[in-house]
Structure 1
Amino acid sequence: MTDVRCWTQQPHSPAGGIAPAVRLREVTKRYGKGAQAVTALDRVSVEIPQGTFTAVMGPSGSGKSTFLHCAAGLDRPTSGSVRLGSTELSHLKEAPLTRLRRGRMGFVFQAFNLVPSLTVEQNITLPLRLQGRRADRQWLTETVARVGLSERLRHVPAQLSGGQQQRVAIARALITRPEVIFADEPTGALDPQTAQDVLALLRQAVTDLHQTVVMVTHDPVAAAHADSAVFLAGGRIVTGLAAPTADRVAATMAQLRRAA
């Protein structure tokens, strides 16, 4: 089994029987049937330790977005096992799976996915309201302060810059204190400086708040903020890097493109 633990620094490896934050075992995902079927993931096995930042990379069509969707329960694998902590996702019905995603996962997407008619505060607390829970005001205040939005709570998304909207999305991902934050190209729509600010917030979520972050990205600079990087090609994990640098990531991506 290909294991992220062998690419991360030793202190981040699961120990003492602690379950990994995310575990995929022999996960295959096919779209279509018969001769027209496309295999997006091919027997992928990986464990992502708790409290780590993992970048998922690969050439276009390598399966990285499908990897994230299956790992986060947004798509069901054709075969194999997906676990969040000790909970098996692949056999859950849609209603309990939806509840699990709302309460135990956070999501940050390239497109922000904010509700235009809601204020910043309402967008941030939306996952709690969908669960019928009230916001912990102290945690809300701390979260908003961490992302630099304390003076923007009454604004609506149209009154914010792209970087500020992504900060709202990060605060929304943090507000439920999730077990894992899944980020899909979170800096893809941002200018370089704003992207650095957003990546610093995700890094801070791991270092200071002990969150687990799994980020799909095509950007070697973004991957350099992670503890480890895993690389997919042809729907399989083919290699990984511990403590990735932008140069090492770029070189690995270049090798994969040449091989393709």
Structure 2
Amino acid sequence: MIGWKRQLHGTTGGTANAVRLHEVTKRYGKGPQAVLALDRVSADIARGTFTAVMGPSGSGKSTFLHCAAGLDRPTSGSVRLGGTELARLNEAPLTRLRRSSMGFVFQAFNLVPSLTVEQNITLPLRLQGRRTDRAWFGEIVARVGLADRLRHVPSQLSGGQQQRVAIARALVNRPEVIFADEPTGSLDPDTANDILGLLRQAVTDLHQTVVMVTHDPVAAAHADRAVFLANGRIASGMTSPTVERVTAAIAGLRGAA
């Protein structure tokens, strides 16, 4: 765990962190039946980086993302988004913070079926009572290739197009961090590669921060770094992950289980 943190700092040149988890523990339930999902996890995610969170089933990777994004509260420890300690916020300001400072991309797309593509993309802004920056909207729509689909509803789109809508929605409010949970899990390999390319582009060209949970070594290879969880703890990490190195690391975790 400490080694991964030092490696991460060493590759960012002192860049400020977008997300910091410190000694985060998460238990579900109480007594002998309690499940320890995260066990004193500490991690720093630098701004403007693409991090893949990986591990075997039950390793705690989804809980890691949910705690980092304020979707779930840790049992103990602290989570900071930039300079804000999430544990100090009650539900209303936490919801406002998620809307203004976070973007989300999920495997199931989570689009509103009755809204058009344009309305789905701008929904986070409308929920905040903010006006749409039309220049920024036009740029992200062009980048995700949806300029000719703005009046369509989700049922008129392919799965890949729906995920492009979700990425545009995540970008529209210029968030501090985009959290992606298995964003390519329901897509065919070619479409998945396109979606991963868009997330990579969001980091490289738009200077966003992306934290992605994935089980797929091909997906992880698009990231700047990968962190591996096992039994609720950070087991290891690597910079510049490749399919081969990630596959070997996952196999090692399974062999040690």
The verdict on a shared fold, with TM-score over 0.5 as the criterion, is yes
Matches of 1:9 and 1:146 in 2, distance apart? 31
Per-residue deviation, 1:134: 1.1
Match of 2:222 among 210, 221, 225: 225
Partner of 2:12: 12
Alignment of 1:141 with 2:138, yes or no, is yes
Closer, same or farther: CA 99–202 of 1 in aligned 2, 3 Å: same
Closer, same or farther: CA 214–168 of 1 in aligned 2, 3 Å: same
TM-score (norm 1): 0.96
Partner of 1:210: 207
Partner of 1:184: 181
* AA in 2 matched with 1:122: Q
Per-residue CA distance 1:41-93 (angstroms, 9 max, x = gap): 00000101010000000000000000000000000000000000010001210
* AA in 2 matched with 1:197: D
Partner of 1:2: 2
Closer, same or farther: CA 95–27 of 1 in aligned 2, 3 Å: same
Match of 1:159 among 156, 159, 162: 156
Taking the TM superposition and a 5 Å limit, the aligned residue runs for 1:1-260 are 2=2, 4=4, 6-8=6-8, 10=10, 12-15=12-15, 18=16, 20-260=17-257
Paired residue secondary structure (1:151)? coil
Matches of 2:110 and 2:3 in 1, distance apart? 32
Matches of 1:200 and 1:143 in 2, distance apart? 14
* AA in 2 matched with 1:182: F
Q: Give every structure 1 segment of 4 or more consecutive aligned residues whose post-TM-superposition deviation is greater than 2 Å.
A: 1-15
Per-residue CA distance 1:181-218 (angstroms, 9 max, x = gap): 00000000000000000000000000000000000000
Matches of 1:99 and 1:81 in 2, distance apart? 19
* AA in 1 matched with 2:241: P
Matches of 1:39 and 1:24 in 2, distance apart? 17
Count, aligned residues: 257
* AA in 2 matched with 1:85: G
Paired residue secondary structure (2:2)? coil
Per-residue deviation, 1:6: 3.5
Per-residue CA distance 1:131-182 (angstroms, 9 max, x = gap): 0111111111111000000000000000000000000000000000001000
* AA in 2 matched with 1:244: P
Matches of 1:3 and 1:88 in 2, distance apart? 24
Paired residue secondary structure (2:118)? helix
Matches of 1:34 and 1:159 in 2, distance apart? 49
Matches of 2:43 and 2:9 in 1, distance apart? 16
Paired residue secondary structure (1:155)? coil
Structure 1: give runs of 5+ residues left out of the alignment: none
Per-residue CA distance 1:89-114 (angstroms, 9 max, x = gap): 01210000000000000000000000
Question: C-alpha root-mean-square deviation of aligned residues, in Å?
Answer: 1.2
The share of aligned pairs that are identical, in percent, is 77
* AA in 1 matched with 2:154: P
Matches of 2:11 and 2:42 in 1, distance apart? 21
Preserved contact between residue 121 and residue 166 of structure 2 (Cα < 8 Å): yes
